[in-house]
Structure 1
């Protein structure tokens, strides 16, 4: 049975959390659906408008190249094939997956990157907790409309908690990134860690970050994030 699970190959047709999800109805409709390779040109255009996403993120490069977008979307598709769960979404103004993206959201499961990190357990039942971290960015052409907050709120409540069964959801931001921090707060998260210096590989320097969290069960609130790395 273990071997079958390890070698399982999933398809996009049967994967969980593909969408499209409706965040708000027309005439100002907002939708989230899986990222597609057809998103590459618009993704490159948006991420080169200015340095906002680069300065606010530990992951995205500037200039943002087609090869960067290709690699990021390929990894998103590879996750679907290996796990059967979609974890990367484009924010769109139409439910059609061919409509241009205006933002991005992603989720990954904490501790899943290392077999040597023991997952926290529920303080009452002792079962392993399912913990996720989310990230998001919005087109510089769409800021100030509340779109990022709607995207993060939906990702936390409807996808992470309801569909994926997460116990804790977190978001890590540079301490000076007030826009990202406000989005986390509007999604219902509270400040779990005020400041910690961590290594940012793309910059080759230490930067101070803070961490926000939201818990499905109040009894897990004393369980805090231990490892911060990119």
Structure 2
């Protein structure tokens, strides 16, 4: 989706704000709604229970500080204002925003810097620019083993990325050794697109690398030859 850079949007007219009921099956009725600054205390608490999210992500820090949470939520709100699309959600056990978050989901749309020689891929059948998004997710250590992450990611892929945002491709990146994250990607219907590639992870220190793998779901088999490899954090 191309949005004029001069446009300004509000939370009232932005897309993908939710709340969404994640699935009709299972209990409780998991919901996704936009992240709020009121989520900061619980977000900090959950991300400091142990190092599971830190160990499984190239982005999240440990210890996780209030400033980390505030910066991340501010960026999410800035994205709404600049693009008119909400891209960060809290997973909650109830639909109202005062319900504590128990997990997190986000997406970003793949972009290409033509000044660096990067060209957006073209759909082989339609001739238009391919729309692609990458999702990420984490779940509170207090709620693992219940299938919540799989339900959350499956809804995000099928209902938000493919339907509401009309994307052609959705991807998820995991550390090769993060089997829990990989299983969630597989539950959404994604298949392995890139088996292994080392990347630098700045939060781990200068020069430290981790092996990642990439999962993808293509709405049309015609785009399966379009593989993204330029991942760095």
User: Which TM-score band (shorter chain)?
Assistant: over 0.9
When residues 27 and 149 of structure 1 are mapped into structure 2, their CA distance, relative to the original with a 3 A threshold, is: closer
Query: How far apart in 2 are the matches of 1:227 and 1:76?
Result: 23
When residues 18 and 114 of structure 1 are mapped into structure 2, their CA distance, relative to the original with a 3 A threshold, is: farther
Partner of 1:213: 216
Summarize deviations over 1:55-93 as a string: whole Å, max 9, x none.
Answer: 000000000000000000000000000000000000000
Matched, 1:144 2:129: no
Judge which range, 16-25 or 109-118, deviates more.
109-118
Query: How far apart in 1 are the matches of 2:123 and 2:112?
Result: 17
Deviation above 6 Å: which 4+ runs of structure 1? none
Give the C-alpha shift of residue 169 in structure 1: 0.3
SS of equivalent residue, structure 1 residue 8: coil
Matched, 1:87 2:87: yes
Matched, 1:65 2:68: no
Query: How far apart in 2 are the matches of 1:115 and 1:14?
Result: 32
Partner of 1:203: 204
Partner of 2:22: 23
When residues 70 and 114 of structure 1 are mapped into structure 2, their CA distance, relative to the original with a 3 A threshold, is: farther
What does 1:33-182 correspond to in 2, within 5 Å?
Answer: 33-111=33-111, 116=116, 117-182=118-183
**8 Å Cα contact 2:107-2:136 kept in structure 1:** yes
When residues 126 and 226 of structure 1 are mapped into structure 2, their CA distance, relative to the original with a 3 A threshold, is: farther
User: Tell me, which stretches of 5 or more residues in structure 2 are unaligned?
Assistant: none
Query: How far apart in 2 are the matches of 1:95 and 1:166?
Result: 26
Give the C-alpha shift of residue 203 in structure 1: 0.9
When residues 213 and 123 of structure 1 are mapped into structure 2, their CA distance, relative to the original with a 3 A threshold, is: same
TM-score by length of 2: 0.94
When residues 121 and 99 of structure 1 are mapped into structure 2, their CA distance, relative to the original with a 3 A threshold, is: same
**8 Å Cα contact 1:39-1:101 kept in structure 2:** yes
When residues 113 and 70 of structure 1 are mapped into structure 2, their CA distance, relative to the original with a 3 A threshold, is: farther
Give the C-alpha shift of residue 126 in structure 1: 1.9
**8 Å Cα contact 2:170-2:216 kept in structure 1:** yes
Partner of 1:5: 4
Judge which range, 49-58 or 6-15, deviates more.
6-15
Query: How far apart in 2 are the matches of 1:114 and 1:214?
Result: 25
**8 Å Cα contact 2:42-2:100 kept in structure 1:** yes
User: Tell me, which stretches of 5 or more residues in structure 1 are unaligned?
Assistant: none
SS of equivalent residue, structure 1 residue 202: helix
Query: How far apart in 1 are the matches of 2:136 and 2:145?
Result: 18
**8 Å Cα contact 1:111-1:118 kept in structure 2:** no
SS of equivalent residue, structure 2 residue 38: helix
